[in-house]
Structure 1
Amino acid sequence: MQPILSLVLVGLFCVTTCEEYFLPSYIKPCQLDDKNFTKCVKEQIEASLPHFTKGVPELNVPSIDPVKLDDIIIDGNGLTLKFTQAAMHGLSQSQLTDLIVKIGESDEDFKLAFKGNLSLTAKYEVDGRILILPIQGKGDAIVYAQGVEVEINSKLSHVKDKRNHTHFKLITPSYNYTVEKTTFDLKNLFNGNKQLSDTTHQFANENWRQLMDDLAPPAIKQIVRTCVKTINKFFANVPIERMVKGYKEP
């Protein structure tokens, strides 16, 4: 199964011809009143994602793999850890685990869930302790996160463009996530002292949840923010009438 995050980039239910708006030829239509509407949407997402993960400049949709992250700073419990020049890789290989699109009613909702293995690359600087073990160093870092599952829930609102066409927009998104396991690879710990580095890595990887309790929230928040922003960029360029066959505003 293909990745998601470009997920509804898929144009969720698009037509392939239009005079006023560009749509890629690989996006096929789905009929709203068809009993297989949700299945059709999923199939279109899976078929289109390989294209969307690379970005669609014509629709102002950027690439989503990797996702560039703001600096992440953990400062508390005797540990100061900073990641800079950070990027999250692997979203394009994630798998769609759930999709609910509720439209055409008074309350319109959107739910997307995906799961995959992600890796964070960054420059790091650390000083302090992980539980009882001292840790100090700076250099390149790779954080491997296995089995990351993210669920995004949002309301769908309507906005008008300057030509009076109506577009979907995700608003008030919320999310939750789980991580199955994390492994840290911090180069140049203790100025390259292999014995101290190996001991610290073993301890950190055995106690990965303590670090991820602080590291995961800002990283996942930025991933979700990027996903929602990317989806809304697509929506802003394609009116509802061009995306959903048989759709009528509630």
Structure 2
Amino acid sequence: MFLKYFIVTVVTVSCVRSAEKPSKVIPPYVKQCIRNDPKLVDCIIQALNHIKPYLKQGIKEIELPPVEPFKLDSLSLALTGGTNGYKITLKDIDAYGASDFIIQKIIAHSNSPFEGKIKIPRMTLDAKYLSSGVLLVIPATGNGTFHADLDDIWVNIKGNISNYKKKSKEYYRLDNLDIELDIKKSHMKVSNINNNRIIGEATNLFLAENSQEVIQVMMPQLRPKLTDIIIRIINQLLSNVSTDVFYKN
């Protein structure tokens, strides 16, 4: 008799458990928050800090490539005017350090754009370098390699997030993003310019004395390129993680 009741009990419990809704699988790169937590913004900052090492290495399961290095195609810069003005083109740019961002502030309200302030302690850029024109009265046409150290970078961001349904689940999407960059310190140099020491020294002298001006010339091209890449990275993540996974309740 005992054996009979034991078997009935086991079967009943098994049936009840099989009928229960399966629990959510929380990816290791997601740190959950409580939806109505009065300190939700603080939790979001912690969640963003939590995901940094995963962004650095990439997340294969959602086909998110590593953000280190952060790749840009090219920048074309006219640094001096005139018919023979000095122009440089940077190609195949690899940027390192973007995933070391530090969230300083986030302001988020329902039905309005979010705002944030981010610090990146240091970024380095490595690229192929091509130049043309005259620099410091020296013909400076050549090619070589370019390196830059950018320190104490401040990024102001503003954007809008919406939600949509896919396969009966709700997802977030970053619709637009505006970024403003303030690079406090910079050091740039070129090397291997046609194996021509004079052109190399003249170029490095110019870059040493005018690095901030070069940064300002970069900005109109750099800002939209960075914005497009950031939107693509964020939406690759958001399109693979439904909104309910971000919250504990």
Question: Structure 1 length as normaliser, TM-score?
Answer: 0.78
Structure 2: 5+ residue stretches without partners: 1-20
CA gap 1:19/1:57 in 2 versus in 1, 3 angstroms: farther
User: Which amino acid is the alignment partner of residue 207 of structure 2?
Assistant: A
Choose the corresponding residue for 1:45, options 48, 63, 87: 48
CA gap 1:26/1:68 in 2 versus in 1, 3 angstroms: closer
What residue is the counterpart of 2:203 in the other structure?
A: 200
What residue is the counterpart of 2:174 in the other structure?
A: 170
1:117 equivalent to 2:122? Answer yes
Report how far residue 196 of structure 1 moved. 4.8
CA gap 1:110/1:170 in 2 versus in 1, 3 angstroms: farther
Report how far residue 112 of structure 1 moved. 5.3
Q: Which one has the largest radius of gyration?
A: 2
Same amino acid, percent of matched pairs: 20
Partners of 1:221 and 1:52 lie apart in 2 by: 21
Larger helix fraction of residues: 2
Q: SS of the counterpart of 2:57?
A: coil
Choose the corresponding residue for 1:179, options 183, 199, 223: 183
Report how far residue 236 of structure 1 moved. 0.7
8 Å contact kept, 1:66–1:89 = yes
Structure 1: 5+ residue stretches without partners: 1-17
Query: Residues 65-104 of structure 1: matches in 2 within 5 Å?
Result: 65-75=68-78, 77=81, 78-102=85-109
What residue is the counterpart of 1:4 in the other structure?
A: none
CA gap 1:196/1:242 in 2 versus in 1, 3 angstroms: closer
Partners of 2:242 and 2:156 lie apart in 1 by: 25
Superposed CA offset, 1:123-154 (max 9, x none): 11111245777533211111222222222211
User: Which amino acid is the alignment partner of residue 230 of structure 1?
Assistant: I
Q: SS of the counterpart of 2:42?
A: helix
User: Which amino acid is the alignment partner of residue 86 of structure 2?
Assistant: L
Question: Structure 2 length as normaliser, TM-score?
Answer: 0.79
Report how far residue 100 of structure 1 moved. 3.0
User: Which amino acid is the alignment partner of residue 183 of structure 1?
Assistant: H
Q: SS of the counterpart of 2:140?
A: strand
Query: Residues 136-155 of structure 1: matches in 2 within 5 Å?
Result: 136-155=141-160
User: Which amino acid is the alignment partner of residue 31 of structure 1?
Assistant: I
Report how far residue 66 of structure 1 moved. 0.8
Partners of 1:227 and 1:30 lie apart in 2 by: 23
Partners of 2:113 and 2:211 lie apart in 1 by: 39
CA gap 1:210/1:185 in 2 versus in 1, 3 angstroms: same
CA gap 1:62/1:20 in 2 versus in 1, 3 angstroms: farther
CA RMSD of aligned residues (A): 2.6
1:157 equivalent to 2:162? Answer yes
Report how far residue 211 of structure 1 moved. 1.6
After superposing the two structures, state which structure 1 stretch, 125-134 or 224-233, moved more: 125-134
Q: SS of the counterpart of 2:148?
A: strand
1:106 equivalent to 2:111? Answer yes
Report how far residue 61 of structure 1 moved. 2.3
Partners of 1:20 and 1:56 lie apart in 2 by: 22
Report how far residue 221 of structure 1 moved. 2.8
8 Å contact kept, 1:111–1:154 = no
Partners of 1:200 and 1:182 lie apart in 2 by: 15
CA gap 1:50/1:85 in 2 versus in 1, 3 angstroms: same
